[in-house]
Amino acid sequence: MAELVFTGAAGRLEARYTQATEERAPIALILHGHPRAGGSMMDRVSVMSHKLFVERGFSVLRFNFRGVGRSQGHFDNGVGELSDAASALDYIQNQNPNAVQTWVAGYSFGAYIGLQLLMRRPEIDGFICSATPCNHYDLAFLAPCPSSGMMFYGSNDAVAPPLDVERSVSKIRTQKGEEVEWEQIEGADHFFSQHLDTLRERAGVYLDRRLAMPPKIAPPPRR
């Protein structure tokens, strides 16, 4: 795993990057929790997510949003952080121009940013969100959702209560062939304090299932 810095809209962004050996390996971008709540690319869920994708042959990038760690800039209430995520996706795509798939995985605040990113980047094939703060952010923009994905949440999450997650996700309209799934992890809190291994196992099952499916066929260009 390499330590690196790439350029975002607010300046340099600190990152960790793992390059796959296969030329056409898929790529994954990992987005961390809320910067004002101590979130960083070194939090347990983000590190676990990085390893999860590496174990399946992905090239993987995780980074610190602006103002976190050695990343330049200041917290921007999600607006600038979405720009950071777009810059990170540009970086990993430039490193892997022949990647067969593109995934995003986000934790808490990072899940919200990741969902916004996939609405703007149609090349994203799938997503995995953990502890999405549906009570703090309106997910109405995901109607319809352009990519299939999974949302995991804990039954004991006091920060993003399960009922809010279920209510938000159940309202998301999906396009033909795209499906947003959600799965509760019994006993888990917002940080998956005692349930990180369970989250890793469930996320791995979902990812393996998706990777075993035939790739999506892009629609023919309009004339």
**6-40: b (≥16 Cβ within 10 Å) or e:** bebebeebbbbbbbbeeeebbbbbbbbbbbeeebb
In order of 72, 96, 195, 203, the CA distances from 45 in angstroms are: 23, 25, 10, 11
Position 90 pLDDT exceeds 70: yes
Q: What is the pLDDT of residue 178?
A: 83
Which of 1-10, 76-85, 139-148, 211-220 is predicted least confidently? 211-220
Domains and CATH numbers, the chain: 2-211 (3.40.50.1820)
Position 35 pLDDT exceeds 90: yes
Read off the pLDDT band of 211 (50, 70, 90): very high
Q: Quote the mean pLDDT of the chain.
A: 93
Beta strands in the chain (DSSP E): 2-8, 11-18, 27-31, 59-63, 102-107, 126-130, 148-154, 180-185
125 token code pair: 């094939």
Q: What is the pLDDT of residue 170?
A: 83
Q: What is the pLDDT of residue 221?
A: 40
CB 28 within 8 A of CB 89: no
Q: What is the pLDDT of residue 1?
A: 86
- As a whole-number percent, the residues of the chain with pLDDT over 90 amount to 83
Cβ neighbours for 216, distance < 8 A, ≥ 6 positions apart: 125, 177
CB 65 within 8 A of CB 108: no
Which of 6-15, 56-65, 208-217 is predicted least confidently? 208-217
Residue that the structure tokens 């502890």 belong to = 131
What is the C-alpha separation between 60 and 53, in angstroms, rounded? 7
Q: What is the pLDDT of residue 216?
A: 64
What is the C-alpha separation between 146 and 124, in angstroms, rounded? 9
Question: What pTM was estimated for this model as a whole?
Answer: 0.94
What is the C-alpha separation between 175 and 148, in angstroms, rounded? 9
* Residue (of 147, 7, 128) closest to 63 by Cα position: 7
Give the length of the chain. Answer: 223
What is the C-alpha separation between 39 and 32, in angstroms, rounded? 6
Type of residue found at 95: Q
User: pLDDT digits over 104-137, tens only?
Assistant: 999 999 999 999 999 999 999 999 999 999 998 9
